[in-house]
Structure 1
Amino acid sequence: MGKLAFLFSGQGAQYVGMGKQIAEEYKSSDSIFNEASEVLGFDIKKMIFEGDDETLKITENTQPCIVTTSIACLQPLLEKGIKPDVVAGLSLGEYSAHVAAGTMAFSDAVALVRKRGKFMQEAVPVGVGAMAAIIGLDNEKVIECCNKARDFGIVEPANFNCPGQVVVAGEVKAVEKAMEIAKEAGAKRAMLLPVSAPFHCSLLKPAGEKLAAELEKIELKDMNIPVVTNVTAEYILDKNKVKDLLIRQVSSSVLFEESIRKMIDDGVDTFVEIGPGKTLIGFVKKINKDVKTLNVEDLESLSNTFKELGY
């Protein structure tokens, strides 16, 4: 019998109306949206179900909206008694993974990621930083392109997503230069991403410092399920390591491809992405096309996942 992993969506997957069908059908999911509104002091359900893309795109809104939707989409699986062997998330998704693992209370996580979004946005003034996806070069080549562009400012690998897809982040001029060098080196595409800050690079260190102060106020519990962390692509079962890893995660590269390979090597053969979009299972398929990939974001995908898992 193979193992089951739950993956949780990252920033950029948001859309108006996400999670609405599931919330209308499942009381437990609806109550997650209500709890988030209570914790944050505004109607997040209205923002997600009836808002507009521009409001959802603001980082300090995006982060709690995605975590709330992901944990709401998780509820029907929990009701059926479906428990994964391991959990992981892409960047922001790691907070949802910790809620699923029992490390962090949902109320703490949703308040924390709203502040995390704010700190990440404040760390670099709008227009100073950028992120770009480099398609068609291996990891080492992209690192080389970043090193060659350093004369123009800070540029670093931010996300190692899947074979042939690496995201870089840093100062605008340096990112543009790295894109140019990448194209000369044979990249199929190099494109700027529509984000408001250069996530997962050293420019975000001040955000990590502010996040550290907020994490101090939160009590973590022992996890029931191992979490594979972005920073090291290793399993963690010790709650005492979690805060340091979440602080470092803000300004460190996300080792997503390595994390997935680790789980597959360990016998995981089914991955379920929980929350908006199918970006993560798209990456998984590019890493290993033989594993089963499912997602849960609406009633159709939920029903399909139940069926495929034999429930």
Structure 2
Amino acid sequence: MGKTAFLFPGQGSQYPGMGKDVYDHHSGANRIIQLADQELEYSLSRLMFDGPEDMLKRTENAQPALLTTSIAILEVLKENGITADFAAGHSLGEYSALVSSGVLSFPDAVNAVRKRGLFMEEAVPAGVGAMSAVMGLDRDLLHEITELATEQVGEKVQLANLNAPGQIVISGEKKAVDRAGELAKEKGAKRVIPLPVSGPFHSDLMKPAQEKLTQTLSAISFNNADIPVVTNVNAKEETDGAQMKQLLIEQVTAPVYWEDTVRRLIELDVTTFIEVGPGNVLSGLVRRVQRRGLEVFAVQDMESIEKMMDKLKKEES
């Protein structure tokens, strides 16, 4: 029997209406969302349920909203006996993974990611940084391209999210990101897509945010994990709370090794992947890494949860 992993989405998966269905139909999910409002001292739930979208996607709102929605959905899974052997989360989603594994309390996590979002917004003036998704190149060639672009333009660009084979996001100062995109097309990239983000995440430009986040996280207790978390920075399973605190700090400026994370989970005999939270981005990335032999689910409301549970029960019987 294969093992199960919970996957938690990161920024970009948010949408108005997220979490409303589980809030309305499940007391545990309702409690988590109300607790977020109390902790943050503003109505995050109203933004989650009603938007407006432009306010919800602001980093300081999107990050706590995504964490809260994921943990609310997790409450429904737990009450129905759905558990995991491993957890992982994409960028911001790593905080959700740490809550799911008992490393962080939900109140500590929701306050930390609200501050993380503010720090990231403040780190780089608007228009200075950029991110682009590059499709169809391998990481070694794209790494060489980012180094060449950095040298040519005199500004920094680097690999930010290594999401799946042929899908890598680059991040840095705008001129360098644009130049790297041009060079990538010359070297055979299928597409280069500028991303509508508010900052150059997972790049050295986020160092001011990293310094402030270090202070925030130093005041928070990190427990050892109940289940291992495969982390973004090294794509290895971790259980030590102090180590995971350090990796969360490093994560702000380091690449997200998501393809490597999925491959490591498969090596660990994970055959069932459950994306817990808004959207289905991570489910799609898992399928790009390995198409066959895996069960992949995305659960974001009561209907998708019930469909998954029905399928799992049929397989057991």
Query: What TM bracket, shorter-length normalisation?
Result: over 0.9
Does 1:104 find its partner at 2:107?
no
Task: Note the 1:164-243 alignment, pairs <5 A.
Answer: 164-243=166-245
Does 1:30 find its partner at 2:30?
yes
Matched AA of 1:125: P
Q: Distance in 2 between matches of 1:308 and 1:201?
A: 41
SS class of match (1:269)? strand
- Per the alignment, residue 93 of structure 2 pairs with 93
Does 1:304 find its partner at 2:307?
yes
Q: Distance in 2 between matches of 1:176 and 1:200?
A: 17
Render the CA deviation track for 1:257-289: whole Å, top value 9, x for unaligned: 001000101100010000000000100000001
- Per the alignment, residue 161 of structure 2 pairs with 159
Q: Distance in 2 between matches of 1:255 and 1:5?
A: 17
Gaps of 5+ in 1: none
Contact preservation (8 Å) 2:171, 2:200: yes
Matched AA of 2:263: R
Contact preservation (8 Å) 2:262, 2:286: yes
Q: Distance in 1 between matches of 2:300 and 2:190?
A: 31
C-alpha deviation, 1:304, in angstroms: 1.3
C-alpha deviation, 1:163, in angstroms: 0.3
C-alpha deviation, 1:177, in angstroms: 0.1
Task: Note the 1:230-309 alignment, pairs <5 A.
Answer: 230-290=232-292, 291-309=294-312
Q: Distance in 2 between matches of 1:253 and 1:221?
A: 25
- Per the alignment, residue 119 of structure 1 pairs with 119
SS class of match (2:234)? coil
C-alpha deviation, 1:309, in angstroms: 2.2
Q: Distance in 1 between matches of 2:185 and 2:288?
A: 22
Contact preservation (8 Å) 2:124, 2:199: yes
C-alpha deviation, 1:229, in angstroms: 0.3
Render the CA deviation track for 1:106-153: whole Å, top value 9, x for unaligned: 000000000000111111111000000000111111111101101311
- Per the alignment, residue 14 of structure 2 pairs with 14
Render the CA deviation track for 1:57-99: whole Å, top value 9, x for unaligned: 1100010000000001111110012210000000000000000
Q: Distance in 2 between matches of 1:308 and 1:166?
A: 33
Does 1:83 find its partner at 2:86?
no
C-alpha deviation, 1:307, in angstroms: 1.4
SS class of match (1:197)? coil
Identity of aligned residues (%): 48
Query: TM-score normalised to the size of structure 2?
Result: 0.97
- Per the alignment, residue 142 of structure 2 pairs with 142
Q: Distance in 2 between matches of 1:209 and 1:51?
A: 31
Q: Distance in 2 between matches of 1:222 and 1:287?
A: 29
- Per the alignment, residue 40 of structure 1 pairs with 40
C-alpha deviation, 1:308, in angstroms: 2.3
Matched AA of 1:262: R
Matched AA of 1:304: K
Gaps of 5+ in 2: none
SS class of match (2:308)? helix
Matched AA of 1:134: V
C-alpha deviation, 1:222, in angstroms: 2.0
Q: Distance in 1 between matches of 2:59 and 2:150?
A: 27
Q: Distance in 1 between matches of 2:24 and 2:74?
A: 14
Render the CA deviation track for 1:25-48: whole Å, top value 9, x for unaligned: 101001111000000000111111
SS class of match (2:159)? strand
SS class of match (1:42)? coil
SS class of match (1:310)? helix
Name whichever of 149-158 and 91-100 sits farther off: 149-158
Q: Distance in 2 between matches of 1:191 and 1:84?
A: 34
Matched AA of 1:182: A
SS class of match (2:222)? coil
Contact preservation (8 Å) 2:223, 2:240: no
